[in-house]
Amino acid sequence: MTMANIAVWGDSIGRAVGFNDSLGRYAVIKPNYREMLLQSRAVNILNHARFGATLPEGLADFLDAGEVDAPAVAIQFGGNDCNYDWAAISENPQAFHGPRTALEAFEKGLCRFAQLVQDRGKTAILVTPPPLDAQRFFAWVTRGLNADAILSFLGDIQHVYRWQERYAAAVHRAARHARCRLFDLRDAFLAADHFQDNLCLDGMHPNEKGQNLIACAIKDALPRLGLPTP
């Protein structure tokens, strides 16, 4: 049986990091999607993802990595790129506050990343970010801060969901522009009943149930991605 190799550059989602309730901190979820895929001999993930990474940081990592020993490269970013400095907003909600990576720069960066992968003769796969649970996410990022001030900046709590959704839409546009493969991880979560059940307490990172959802979604997507199926 042929098992596909996929190199992943991404953030904590790609790294399978989530909030561990018993430890009270972030840690790699066990079992995680990579282990599940390897156990089923579906895909071998060569993981270059980093907790907290943005697209510009991931692109720099890719350029420094040299030769990639995989026919396909998955590019998974957006969650940190669309995020804000919540402490700064809490202190001065009336000021201008931009995301860590501007939306236009994010889309252009995805196109460049995909093109660099394709220039090496590899299959580029752009990955959409999973959805947020806005209520839990807002409660999480406002801990110890002025939640009312942050809410006045946002307008409403669901704004964080809609804002992140724009970055997911940018992934779709970039995939069309770069003429590369798209793995719509966001849609896989939204198709699940009560998708929030697949997320950690922070409302953004997939939990163990979410890791299983990711593994199943990847296995289902392999034919569309042009990769061998188990």
pLDDT digits (tens, 9 = 90+) for 68-118: 999 999 999 999 999 999 999 999 999 999 999 999 999 999 999 999 999
**How many CA atoms does the CB half-sphere of 172 hold within 13 Å?**
9
Confidence band (pLDDT; 50, 70, 90) for 227? confident
Cβ neighbours, 10 Å, residue 28: 17
Domains of the chain: 4-87+101-138+158-221 (3.40.50.1110)
Strands 4-10 and 72-76: parallel
What local confidence, expressed as pLDDT, does residue 43 receive?
93
Average pLDDT of the chain is 96
The model's pTM = 0.95
pLDDT digits (tens, 9 = 90+) for 28-71: 999 999 999 999 999 999 999 999 999 999 999 999 998 899 99
Instruction: Report whether the peptide linkage leading into residue 56 is cis, meaning its omega lies within 30 degrees of zero.
Output: no
